[in-house]
Amino acid sequence: MSTQRRSGPGGRPRRGRYGQRRKICHFCVDKVSSIDYKDTAKFRRFISERSKIESRRKTGVCARHQRGLSVAIKRARHIALLAYTPAHVRQLT
């Protein structure tokens, strides 16, 4: 068994499978205390083109803000500020 470290290009150690650097929480940077469900323009960044809520790994949001974000998106969907399905799927039915 060898004790050599696996290294990437340039002799630097690899940082993992999903990316080079750690993503920073968008809400922590702005010092947001609570996420408002009425601000639907901000949610577009955290929803996929299939209208699914993106994961923390993909968006870089911390755990506390991801929980608040998912609740806010669900509330906005419930009172019809956001759609449950994308427009191209609704046209097919």
Q: What is the pLDDT of residues 8-57, one digit of tens each?
A: 566 656 566 655 677 889 899 999 888 999 999 989 899 998 999 999 99
Whether 5 is in a domain gets the answer no
Whether 53 is in a domain gets the answer yes
Number of domains in the chain: 1
Whether 40 is in a domain gets the answer yes
Which pLDDT value is given to residue 3? 57
- Count helices and strands in the chain by DSSP H and E runs: 5, 0
Asked if the model's pLDDT at residue 61 lies above 90, the reply is: yes
Please tell me the pTM assigned to this model.
Answer: 0.72
Whether 9 is in a domain gets the answer no
CA diameter of the chain: 59
Whether 62 is in a domain gets the answer yes
Both structure tokens of 63: 């755990």
Range of the domain at 63: 20-90
* Amino acid sitting at position 69: L
Whether 11 is in a domain gets the answer no
Whether 10 is in a domain gets the answer no
Whether 32 is in a domain gets the answer yes
Q: Exposed, middle or buried: residue 8 (CB in 10 Å: 0-12, 13-18, 19+)? A: exposed
Return the CATH number at 81: 4.10.640.10
